[in-house]
């Protein structure tokens, strides 16, 4: 599969299934992550923060095309 190596070596955003599960559980249960409609990210220390989507990622026209 292409996606895991792409995430690991190109975007540096790959996490294991175990880590992804921990992050999902945190979003569901952590009172500090209750804001709706935002994109949550984690830094290298696994600290969560609210990330801003790029204009391209927020473009409804582009979304319809893909």
CB 35 within 8 A of CB 48: no
Residue 27 is predicted with a pLDDT of 92
Residue 21 is predicted with a pLDDT of 94
pLDDT tens, position by position, 18-66: 989 999 999 999 999 999 888 888 887 778 999 888 888 888 998 888 8
**CA distance linking residue 32 with residue 35, whole number of Å:** 8
Terminus-to-terminus CA distance in the chain, angstroms? 20
């Amino acid at each position: 599969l292409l996606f895991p190596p792409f995430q690991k070596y190109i975007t540096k955003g790959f996490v294991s299934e175990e880590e992804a599960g921990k992050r999902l559980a945190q979003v569901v249960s952590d009172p500090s992550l209750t804001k709706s409609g935002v994109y949550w990210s984690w830094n290298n220390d696994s600290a969560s923060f609210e990330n801003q989507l790029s204009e391209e990622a927020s473009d409804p026209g582009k979304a319809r095309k893909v």
